[in-house]
Structures are given as C-alpha cells and as structure tokens.
Chain A
C-alpha cells in the first residue's frame, strides 16, 4: 500500500499547526485507488498485483479541538455533518498534530477513529499523526509524521510520500549530435524532420507547450489574487470579531465588579483579607469561563490532594471557600504546548527531545515535595501535551499568581520540616498546594492560554 500527499497540502497542515498553540486536528480528503501493477518475472509470465494507493488531495482543518467529539471521546454525528457538509464523501482519513508526544495513537484517538470509521462508512480510514519536538534552546525543530491504518491488524503504518519535481534533468539536453557522414541520413531527417519546425526554425512543440504553461501561470496568478483578497477580508472580520469579544468581556467584567461591590456593601464585612483577594479574580474567572464555554478540560474534578483537602475543609474556615477549588480544578484550561510560537521555552528547564515530562516530574518533586501527589494528573489519557504542568511544577509560569505562591512557598519550606509533628501547619501547606494547582486557571485572559480555549 502506498500513500501520497502533495507538498502544498503538507505545508498547509504545518502552517495551520504552527498557528495553533494547542493540538490541531482536521480531516483528510482524497481518494483511494486500486492500481494494478503487472510484473513479468522469470518464474511466471505475468503477475498482476493490486496496489492500494491512498491519495490525499486536501485537508479540512478543524477550527478548534473537541468540535465533533466530547471529553469521553464520543463522536457527535450532528457536529460531524455540520463541519464536513458535502465534503463528507471525500473523507479518507483524519489527522492530528501534537507537540512533544509519542508517535502512537492515544486511547481517545483510537476510539474516535473507530466511530469515524463507522459513521463515515470508510472501512480503511487512515490517521495521520504529526508530532513536533524541539531542542532545549529551540534552535532546531523536528516534525515527524506517520500514516496509520488502524483498522488493519498488520502493517498498520504506511509510508507517506510527497511527490515533487524530482530530477529537473537538464542534463538530458544533447549538446552535440552523434557524428554521421551518411548523406542519405542527413537528407531523410532534414526532409521529414522539417514537419517539427516552423518557419523560424523553432520547434512547434516548444511554442505549444509554452502556451499551455503561460495559460496555467496566468490562472495561478488570477486565483492567487482572489485568495489574497479573501485573506484581507477574513483578516478584517476576524479583527472585528476579536474587538467585539473584548468589548463584551470588558462589559461583563464591569457588571461583575459592580455586583460584587453591591454585595459587599450589603453584607457585614467579616471575611479576612486573603479571601477578598481571591474572590474578585474568581468572579471574573467564572465569567470568563462561562464566556469561553465550549472548552472544558479533561482533568478529573477531584482535588490534587484529596486526603488533606478533606481535612482542610473541616479544620480551617479562613482559607478560600471550600466550594471553589473543585470548580476551578474542573475548569482548568487545556495544557499549554511547549514549543508553541508565542512562548519560547526557557532553556534550563531541559525540554529535550522527549524528555520534557520526565524532567518536569523530577523538577517538580525536588522543588516542592508536597506536589508529588499531583503526578496522576500528568497523563491526560489522550496523549496530548501536558507540559504546562511541568512548567508549573518548576515554577516557570510567569503569571501574577507567582506573587501569591512565593509567600506560601516560603512558609512551606520552613514548615515542611515540622510537618510530621505539627498538624496545625497542614492548612498552610495545602493552601500552597492549592495555590500552585490553580495558576493555570487564574492566568490572565489576555494571553494565548485564554485564547486557546476558544
């Protein structure tokens, strides 16, 4: 079995992937043909082999993740139809782009693939996996790609070739003629060969083929002009949409602020200061979360430190209200992919090829032993990048919560030695765990993490 994709389609997938801060996926449109190759060998007269050729013509990128399936991996037929429309009959596969992950189908991808096979009615649906890795200093990047046929038992990987110009073979021009003294030869080829040339001595074929090329290039130029116009129109409307979203978010924030002030004025002021600091951000967080509704995370809603959290809720009322951490944990945005365009990876973290997760774990464990129980989080179960946790654990996040964390961490490192004997210190330690567990949720909306959830 052979598969091919045009260089332009391949580059286009790379382009869309480079533009997304998170994973990127889409559908592959094309055609599967059966080619018969006849071979003659010494042992048999002729043997016809049926070669299946998968030709990927085009790709249909999905605007966002989870657009046709949910967190349980259940594919929605309705959403699928509305995305594909009449291109549905041309779908021969789908693709996914992820950063710093293994070249293997994740569990969720496998179950989605099974459902797509059934829903689209393509028995040999293919899956193209792109995996992106970078060196620690981001000077060299690699994009690996594998084409899978998951519905087959054997030979699940197929070689994907990119047809190209190959050899321009300008060496095939002859600079001299084979010497020949025969007068008959010269006479015959001159007389009958004259058919090929026009009155200027130029070969007719040259002019003809050049006309074909010219017409084609003119067409390319014309369509390019149309594409350029459509890009500008799209850009403009996108800008308008972004501005409107900002205005709406601003308006909602103001309304929330006003409501909060009203509530505060009405209630007796018995809350301690830390809670006042966290509440406004939570209120605005919740309003932001409801605005970016489609993107809920796949992390379980259990808190990072279940036993101590249960203790916490009975022990200390002064900590942030017990109802909020599970909610915010459940609404954590998707992890930020390392190596994404807007966020150059800092070198010392050592995001070496394939080592990101392991190192992150190690660093996290050493800087704050209390966060080790959170390691079950690191696998998202679908093979997607989860490097934001690594960066969080290593203290690389540069958002405003670091200021809150620092105080807690200082307390934590001094209290930790006394942890075994003095249970009264537990709340402070857990508070730092909770605070560390929350940074991603409380990050400012203006940066890429916020936008990736839309």
Chain B
C-alpha cells in the first residue's frame, strides 16, 4: 500500500469540522495540504475550503483550476513553514448520510490516485441522530481506492487516520476558517450576477431576485459569519486568560529553578 497512515493536525481537523457542520443540506468539500513522509505517513497540516461548482448530490469533483489554485496555496504554505508542502488529499462531508464513500467517491478517489498514488480521501459524516437514544453522531474516515479483483470497478481501502494534537491553532488554519463566509458570499454574488444579466425580467421579478440575494446573505451572516466571529472572540478571551496563567507559571518555575 502506498500510504500506511494519515496524521491530521488537530487545527486542520478543527477547520474540517467547522466546514462540515456549516450546512446539512449539501456536501461541502476541500483539499488537504501537507507532506508525505518517508515512512509513507501522510501528514496533513492544513486544509483549503473549496467552492462546489456542481451542487448536485454526490458530485464532489474538483476542477483543474481549483487544483491549480490549491497548489499555489501549498507553495505559499511551503514558503511560510519552510517545509515541502503539496496537495496530499481531499475531504468532503456526508450530512445525514453514512460515512462510507459512495461508488462515485471511490471512483473519484481512484482518478486522483492516478496522478498521485499517495493521494488520500477523508469523509466527515455529520448531522446523524439516533432518535431512540437521542444520540447525535459525527464520524470521519480515511480511504484510498484499489482496483477490484474482478472487473474494472474500484474498491475502498481503509487507511488508519490519527488526529495529532496541536495546542495552538496555526495561522494557515485560521485563514482557511475565515475563508468560508467569503466563499459563500462569492458563490451568491456569481449566481446573482448571472440572474441579473437576464434582460427580459420585469421590475417585480428583479425586486424578487434582489430580495432573494438579500435573504441569502442574511442567512449566511447569521449562520456562519456571526457564530464564527463569536468563536474567534471567545478564543481570544481564552488565549488571553491562558497567557496570564502561563506567565504566572513561568515566573513560579523560574523561581523554583533558581532555588535548586
């Protein structure tokens, strides 16, 4: 097997979770940036949130332009961290659906593996609830594809995945996290522009469409931008608190060291 395991940094894991939980009505997707170690362990340092051009169910495909843009982003990350970074995988969400990849997913993964045999796929399943026990569930899995023995169909291969602790959230992950509202707004603007260019609409229809845009943007602000801002503020508060406490501990340790 080309890949022995995947190590996902916990701050990248945080961004994936944020993204997956952002909507329960459609699948979201993104790319994983990192490096492959000599031990054949794929180390994911950060993720990039992508726009989905084809919003049909289970059509989670990445366009060549997006891959190219992601590669540029990987280079930027490589410059920043001084380590060789590249696109090493992709992730997408399965809201209300089982975590296992569909046939389409397995085929898509197989295609990416043709370009890079170490490419891995991650799936986050969320918004699952067992009504009887009122238990909610969030699952995540990692897989690659291999040619099935019979015929030309592909099969899923399970890859061990571990979340590696990282106490502080990296700069790249924070930047990825705040990209989400921007991407959502861009998608909305593009759709509206297409509609707006239609010349034969009467004023009432135009007003209607303008209102839909307003409504959708309000929806995005209250469901995504707002909670994101709140979380950032809370995190800032927590960090300030931690810094004070750590500073005190540092003073105490310095004294202890001096006393020894």
Contact = CB atoms under 8 A, between A and B. Distances in A.
A7 B24 CA distance: 11
A12 B21 contact: no
A216 B162 contact: no
Given A8-B231, A206-B213, A344-B5, A141 B137 contact: no
A229 B196 CA distance: 42
A230 B236 contact: yes
Contacts of B137: 142-145
B25 interface: yes
Contacts of A220: 178, 181, 225, 228-229, 232
Report the interface size class on chain B: 35 or more
B209 interface: yes
A273 interface: no
Contacts of A20: 165
B3 to A, nearest CB: 11
A263 interface: no
Nearest to A230: B239
Question: In terms of DSSP, what is the predominant structure of the interface of chain B?
Answer: helix
Contacts of A10: 17, 21
Given A166-B25, A168-B23, A240-B250, A7 B227 contact: yes
A177 B205 contact: yes
Interface in B221-251: 221, 223-236, 238-240, 242-243, 245-247, 249-250
B10 A341 contact: yes
A267 B162 CA distance: 51
B191 A170 contact: yes
B230 A57 contact: yes
B71 interface: no
A11 B21 contact: yes
B250 A244 contact: yes
B239 A231 contact: yes
Interface in B24-82: 24-26, 55
Given A144-B135, A168-B26, A206-B213, 18 more contacts: A7-B21, A8-B227, A11-B18, A15-B13, A58-B234, A142-B139, A145-B137, A159-B136, A164-B21, A170-B55, A174-B209, A209-B213, A209-B214, A213-B221, A220-B225, A228-B171, A230-B236, A232-B171
List 9 tightest A-B contacts by C-beta distance, closest first: A7-B21, A203-B210, A193-B203, A139-B158, A8-B231, A11-B17, A230-B239, A157-B134, A244-B253
